[in-house]
Amino acid sequence: MIIKFSSDFIPGTTYTIHIDYEGDIIRDLNGLYISDYVDINGQDGIFMASQMEPTYARGVFPCVDEPARKAIFIINIIHDSSYAVWSNGEIDRTETLSDGRIVTHFTPTLNMSTFLLAFIMAPKSDFACRPHLLINSKNITSRICGRADILSQLAYADEVAYKVLEFFNTYFDIDYPLPKIEHFAVPDFGGGAMENYGLLIYTEVGLFFDEKTVSASRKQDITLLIAHEIAHQWFGNLVSPAWWNELWLKEGFATYMETLAADSVEPLWMQEEQFIVNKIFEFIEADSLPTSRPISIQSTNPADIFQLYDSITYEKGATVIRMMSMFLGAETFQSINFWLGNTTAVMEIYERCCQ
């Protein structure tokens, strides 16, 4: 999109652009999409959710859809009164229009990248949240949401989410920056999970645990998944990649940190001791093939960016981050101030490491 102005900009002046636009709600499990589910009575229903990473936000609304270009978003959603809505912020207030529809106003987001924006709209009759849990005395509430008829099977995920957030608050010595963190299990989602600030979205199967029908090993899978997404609240959200060629930094960091957080939840799992088997062996075969690629690839083509979501980015990235934690030492590595900045590029990290 090219915007032409009738006169030159005046230095020091703030300009506001108002754009009226319409967008499509699609069924492709990306951008802003709708999908189907079957309720407890066997009836078909429809819900709406979002997936903006990596470059789908530009298809939802006009924006500079790049990870380094952060902004504060003020979200207001107009919806039928039979539906509930969720977004990154807390619900600030609601109002009823003359036609009976509801306008839900959310509190402004933090300064964040476009790929972290999130929305969910679902029927009140079929979707709900478990009671929120208060993180110590920090006034941070954590809760799990999803289809009302499976909330009891999300109890373990609820417990893990609470414990992992406490772990990272202590580990980094910088608290999670929002007053709420919601983990939403949706029936249909394009990826395993997404770390949107304040509203983390998962597939139902990723969080579902029923001791009568699911093996105990599912507890490890659930814990690692939740820990990965919560780790992103610091590295990926608070500290963001300068560009998608640095995707391995945020994904590698979260993939390494998930093992430490999982061990804090259940030390007997010894995830850190299994790192070589679970992480290094995961990428080493792909990395030995002629088709292997560098861990960082510079490209502005969305098709190339999508190809970066692989074991080279996640597991090899985690291996590099783990190596850095060893030579930096725990005190430096755990200091989020070492990594902190609006965005982080790999050369900046190397320079800090070598100081």
- pLDDT by residue (tens digit) across 72-126? 999 999 999 999 999 999 999 999 999 999 999 999 999 999 999 999 999 999 9
More confident call, 9 vs 342: 9
32 near 26, Cβ under 8 Å?
A: yes
In CATH, what number is assigned to the domain containing residue 283?
1.10.390.10
* Domain housing 202: 31-231
Residues 283 and 343 in one domain: yes
Predicted pLDDT of residue 173: 84
User: Interior CA angle at 81 toward 110 and 193, to 5°?
Assistant: 45
Any alpha helices (H) in the chain, and if so which ranges? Answer: 155-172, 204-207, 217-231, 247-265, 275, 281-288, 302-306, 311, 317-328, 330-334, 336-339, 346-353
Beta bridge partners of 50: 32
Residues 60 and 201 in one domain: yes
Residue 22 assigned to a binding site: no
CB count, 10 Å around CB of 225? 21
Residue 228 assigned to a binding site: yes
13 is a domain residue = no
pLDDT confidence bin for 262, thresholds 50/70/90 = very high
Q: Name the percent of the chain lying above pLDDT 70.
A: 94
Q: Is the pLDDT of residue 339 over 80?
A: no
Predicted pLDDT of residue 344: 61
Q: In angstroms, rounded to a whole number, what is the distance separating the alpha carbons of residues 31 and 182?
A: 20
**Residue of 53, 182, 195, 229 with catalytic role:** 229
Residues 254 and 340 in one domain: yes
Q: Which of 203, 231, 259 is the last residue of a domain?
A: 231
Q: Is the pLDDT of residue 336 over 80?
A: no
Residues 122 and 209 in one domain: yes
Residues 218 and 300 in one domain: no
Q: How many domains does the chain have?
A: 2
Rama region for 23: left / alpha / beta (φ>0; ψ in -120 to 50; rest): beta
Residues 198 and 319 in one domain: no
pTM for the full predicted model: 0.94
26 is a domain residue = no
Catalytic residue flag (residue 282): no
274 is a domain residue = yes
In CATH, what number is assigned to the domain containing residue 136?
3.30.2010.30
Q: Is the pLDDT of residue 250 over 80?
A: yes
DSSP of 318-341: HHHHHHHHHHH-HHHHH-HHHH-S
Residues 39 and 186 in one domain: yes
80 near 123, Cβ under 8 Å?
A: no
Cα–Cα nearest to 248, from 166, 321, 155, 325: 321
pLDDT confidence bin for 1, thresholds 50/70/90 = confident
Reported as half-sphere exposure (CB side, CA atoms, 13 A), residue 48 has a value of: 17
Helix axes 247-265, 317-328, angle to 10 degrees: 70
277 is a domain residue = yes
Residue 183 assigned to a binding site: no
Beta bridge partners of 96: 102
